[in-house]
Amino acid sequence: MSTEEEPVKLDAGASTGPAPVSVETGVDPSAAKLRELLDALPPDLYAPVFTHASWTARRSDSYERLAFLGDSVLSLAITAHLYPRLEADRYGAGRLTKIRAQAVSGRSCRVVAERLRVPDRLRAAAPVEVAASVSALVRTERVLASVIEAVIGACYLAFGYEPTAAAVVEAFDPEIEQALEHPVDYKSTLQERLARRGVLVSYSVVDEQGPPHDRTFSISATIDGVEVGRGTGRSKKDAEQEAAQAALESLKW
């Protein structure tokens, strides 16, 4: 896929103020377009992207609303990329859904966030009074995934869908290819192995954290009432997959 594209230009009337910090060292080339858009964001959009809700008196000044928007833009961009690329006879709606879910999972979003040096950007934006806790915060999958969604949401508002979607597809390309070449379905694998032994696994939510639009779920996988694995994820499906993976590792079947 070509990576040639005209540099992003801000309108002459774009808000002025302190320029966003550009963190270029070590950025993966596969995220070049998204980094370009990110660094071209006007300050009134850049600032909330890297503002955790606990860092501001007004929750609306944090990245949460932008992440809500970016989640939808990310899903549409990847879906629109996959749909014409994959043969209808081989890739039905169910299979497409699984591929997309893996490509945009919390784990995938975290990897893309690390390519963009999001942890460094968060550290740079953190208030001095939270310095002691910021290191742990910027390592959590939930935060990094939410911030990358906020980046996408902000880019959509600033530059529109087409340039943002192209940048998203480029940034997530390694995850898309991984999902196509090595699809992950730990739940099905676990179910098949247990079926040979005549036992069943059940999944239950044991914890939920975060606001409704940015929830993290913890799910327990149990066999005959005994927990064999536990997983967390930004959706119940992601958490179940992680729980199933943990179960396969603990059972060693």
Active site (catalytic) residues: 71, 149
For 150, other C-beta atoms within 10 Å of its C-beta total: 26
| DSSP secondary structure code for residue 55 in this structure | G
Helix 118-125 / helix 106-115 crossing angle, nearest 10 deg: 70
Report d(CA 207, CA 222) in Å as an integer. 15
Report d(CA 230, CA 58) in Å as an integer. 34
Q: Pick left, alpha or beta for residue 146 (phi over 0 → left; psi -120 to 50 → alpha; otherwise beta).
A: alpha
Closest CA to 158 of 6, 5, 11: 11
For 26, other C-beta atoms within 10 Å of its C-beta total: 9
The residues facing 231 across adjacent strands are 219
Burial string for 45-66 (b: 16+ CB within 10 Å, else e) reads bbbbbbbbbebeeeeeebbbbb
CB 214 within 8 A of CB 140: no
Burial string for 104-118 (b: 16+ CB within 10 Å, else e) reads bbbbbbbbbbbbbbb
